[in-house]
Chain A
Amino acid sequence: MSSGIQERSDIDQIPVAKRPATSPPPRPQTWVLKLIMAVTGSIFVLFLLFHLAGNLKVYLPDDPQGHFNEYAHWLRSFLSPLLPGSTFLWIFRGCLGAALLLHVYSGVTLWIRAHRLRGRHARKVNPTKHHLTGRTMLWSGLIILAFIIFHLLDLTLGRVVASKDFTGGSTYKLENGEVTVDAYANLVHSFQRPSVAIFYVVVMVVIAFHLSHGIWSITNDFGATAHRTRSVLLILADLIALVIVVGNASIPLAVLGGVITL
């Protein structure tokens, strides 16, 4: 601004008010934690959409087993001439794992801060949608965390909670002759157990809750203030949540209903 305004040269010497000695220093700063939530949350949303696209291969009309396993194999060996073996998969896993650690750390830290700063008196519960989903983010998040562990044990590692028919190692022969994991068979065997199938469906609903508020949070945490952007993302939040829950939860149900078989 040139006209009419002179900048004071001593602006930087004007003291910033001191915080009272009673409050703990918030490190890392709240806005940084919110930013970490938004960045890692976005990574998860993109991952879930990508993961869903792969999962939906079980519905391909001819040879779903082959396509699904081919996708699983591709994921493992992506960029393989460039990077040896499953390097890409490990980078991918490393990034997701780091994002998860950061997400959980920031989420829990923010939750603790929020709870320290709420007052002592009872509040009238306001039954709005954002109240339901927004105030349960930590709980839905912890269920998701438990699920992630279960899911890895069940379909990746084949330990503890996996079906007794879990085929470890390399047992499926792809069309091009390469041998890979029979991820498809593992999936079908696992979901043929009704309690496991129901558990997956329930968790998908929890994820939808987490995402419908989470994507709205991302919108705000990235500082989107334009009216149209906000309106679109508010709708997109529910839409993505719906797509993920319908797309993923249909798979265990389809296995239970005998639509997807070996």
Chain B
Amino acid sequence: MRLILEVWRQEGPDAEGGFETHEILDATPEMSLLELLDRLNHQLVENDQEPVAFESDCREGICGTCGLDVNGVPHGPEDNVPACGQHVRSFQDGQTVRFTPFRARSFPVIRDLIVDRTGLDRIIQAGGTIAVDAGTAPDADTLLVTHDDAERALDFAACIGCGACVSACPNGAAYLFTGAKLAHLALIPHGKEERAKRARSMIAQMQHEFGPCSQIGECVLACPAEIPIVALAVVNRERLRAGFMWGKAN
């Protein structure tokens, strides 16, 4: 397969940046999009050119590192699949494929396709953790969690922190990410102890760096963890609830 790659190149955070066009003659349908970039880099190195900087780690959809936009869509043309799990077979022979860094003012470019996603880490640092002393493992049946709650908590815990939701959002909002974490922790016993405090601090932090949500729902199409759209309302629900708790932690 022959593909034309238009790749965003940017030396560093303050550099101008621009597109570079390359031709790949030996792409195969079963290559992942990251392997396509590997192929490109191989070619660049052979020609004594600088390889394209992009991020990846697990390459099996669990780490959330492989964030980039493909033809203006986070992770690539398939819905709910990370870039490492998307394949060249989505494209036609001779097609132009454009790689850009995740699009969001809150994700400044570090180099080429690599962006700084620590804004999401700061939301987690603000309260996406459990700071209660859980002691030793409790006796069986002292901490009851219903099956439904456990399953729902796990569904929301599936977020891999990739940032695709932010890039997909026309407002640069991180509601899906924040809502997933809030919903997950609000459903489990240890998490409930700081439920209101967490909502206040995580949402305050989220607002510092990310946009407001307009319920457009593009994030849900991008999310590789298939976090459901209700996570957006969870952010508002948890914040309103925290307001009613008048400064209490739980």
Contact = CB atoms under 8 A, between A and B. Distances in A.
A17 B235 CA distance: 19
Contacts of B237: 223-225
Interface stretch (A62-70, A115-123, A144-152, A250-258): A115-123
A124 to B, nearest CB: 4
Nearest to A120: B103
A5 interface: yes
Interface residues of B, number: 66
Contacts of A134: 214-217
28 contacts: A5-B133, A5-B134, A5-B135, A7-B132, A8-B133, A11-B249, A16-B205, A31-B207, A33-B212, A35-B236, A114-B170, A114-B172, A114-B173, A114-B211, A115-B171, A116-B105, A118-B103, A118-B105, A118-B171, A118-B211, A119-B104, A121-B72, A123-B72, A123-B103, A123-B170, A128-B217, A131-B216, A220-B215
A6 B216 CA distance: 41
Given A11-B194, A130-B216, A121 B233 contact: no
Interface stretch (B25-33, B43-51, B89-97, B123-131): B123-131
A26 interface: yes
Contacts of B103: 118-121, 123
A5 B132 CA distance: 7
B39 interface: no
A200 interface: no
A224 B204 CA distance: 20
Given A4-B138, A117-B171, A118-B104, A135 B143 contact: no
Interface in B178-221: 189-190, 192-194, 197, 201, 203-205, 207-218, 221
A4 B143 contact: yes
Given A8-B133, A119-B105, A119-B172, A26 B207 contact: yes
Interface of B: 8, 69, 71-73, 100-107, 122, 125-127, 131-135, 138, 142-143, 167, 169-173, 189-190, 192-194, 197, 201, 203-205, 207-218, 221, 230, 232-241, 249
| Most chain B beta carbons < 10 A, residue from A7, A220, A222 | A220
A110 interface: yes
Given A118-B105, A217-B215, A1 B189 contact: yes
B214 A135 contact: yes
A16 B216 contact: no
Contacts, number: 182
Interface string A17-48: 10110010110011101110000000000000
Nearest to A138: B214
| Residue among A30, A119, A120, A130 with max Cβ neighbours from chain B (10 Å) | A119
B204 to A, nearest CB: 7
A176 interface: no
A216 B229 CA distance: 12
Given A3-B143, A121-B100, A223 B236 contact: yes
Contacts of A232: none
A125 B132 CA distance: 45
A114 B72 contact: no
A245 B36 CA distance: 51
Contact of B193 (A5, A23, A29, A35): A5
A73 interface: no
B218 A131 contact: yes
Nearest to A224: B233
Residue among B69, B142, B216, B217 having the largest count of chain A Cβ atoms under 10 Å: B216
B234 A225 contact: yes
Contacts of B197: 11-12
A35 B105 CA distance: 24
Contacts of A222: 236, 240
A113 B213 CA distance: 10
Interface string A210-229: 00010011011111110100
A31 B203 contact: yes
A33 B207 CA distance: 11
A14 B131 contact: yes
B230 A230 contact: yes
Contacts of B235: 31
Contact of A121 (B8, B127, B217, B230): B8
Contacts of B239: 31, 223
B215 A12 contact: no
